[in-house]
Chain A
């Protein structure tokens, strides 16, 4: 791997991290729930980019198509139907900040103490290999996932129909 491609990879990582963390902050802090849902979509896109950088290209594609493309869009359009509500429990803000910092430190320390490899090359795995494993070994969870995705469609239709009989 050349020096320029390494710098490019790091630049991509920093850009995607900026998108993911920045839009996560917007999602939590913005006054309007619709913008919050849109910012969640941006975070999902940033996380999908980081997945692709790790080498999980088709998981990133699935995340973009199913999660960002369908689910978060469904959430954003549903939120439009609701009136904006006043927002925050201000007396809990200091407690929430302290607990968030503690959670952040705990996760980093816990995962680092697992003693796994620190440097990792992007994973190389074929779609055929993954598809065969999914169909041969994990067919039952696959059926559950298909049924679950079908429920999204039914729920969406139910919400769209409302009280109409």
Chain B
């Protein structure tokens, strides 16, 4: 039996790596990848906690969250592609040029 605390540690490390990537990158794709790392971490944490409290509801919530995150990527990637078409770059520090 593996202590559930180990899963918390793995989730926390993944979340920290994702937060590091989200802060330091300028490329919109790399920021999205980092946010997705954070999503994977919270999903693991959700299921680790659910396994000790309410397994069925945790699993169903996880399935719905995976579906909604897939949709989020489906929306975010076309936005990044459109940003690239309009500005020729996916550098988020230059996206403010789209204002006005």
Q: Do A and B come from one complex?
A: yes
| Contacts from A to B (Cβ < 8 Å) | 1, 6, 9-10, 13, 17, 20-21, 24-25, 27-28, 33, 36-37, 39-40, 43-44, 47, 50-51, 53-56, 58-59, 62-63, 66-67, 70-72, 74-75, 78-79, 81-83, 85-90, 92-93, 95-97, 99-101, 103-105, 107-108, 111-112, 114, 116-123, 125, 129-130, 133-134, 138, 141-142, 144-146, 148-149, 151-152, 155-156, 158-159
Closest to B1 in A: A119
Contact of A120 among B9, B52, B64, B78 (CB under 8 A): B52
Which of B60-96 touch A at CB < 8 Å? 60, 62-64, 66-71, 73-75, 77-78, 80-81, 84, 88-91
Give bound CA distance, A92 to B19, whole Å.
12
* Residues A96 and B27 in contact, CB atoms below 8 Å apart: no
- Interchain Cβ contacts within 8 Å, total number: 252
* Residues A47 and B8 in contact, CB atoms below 8 Å apart: no
Asked, given contacts A24-B17, A56-B47, A130-B60, whether A82 binds B33 with beta carbons under 8 Å apart, the answer is no
Asked, given contacts A33-B27, A66-B70, A87-B26, whether A40 binds B15 with beta carbons under 8 Å apart, the answer is no
Q: How many residues of B contact A (CB 8 A)?
A: 70
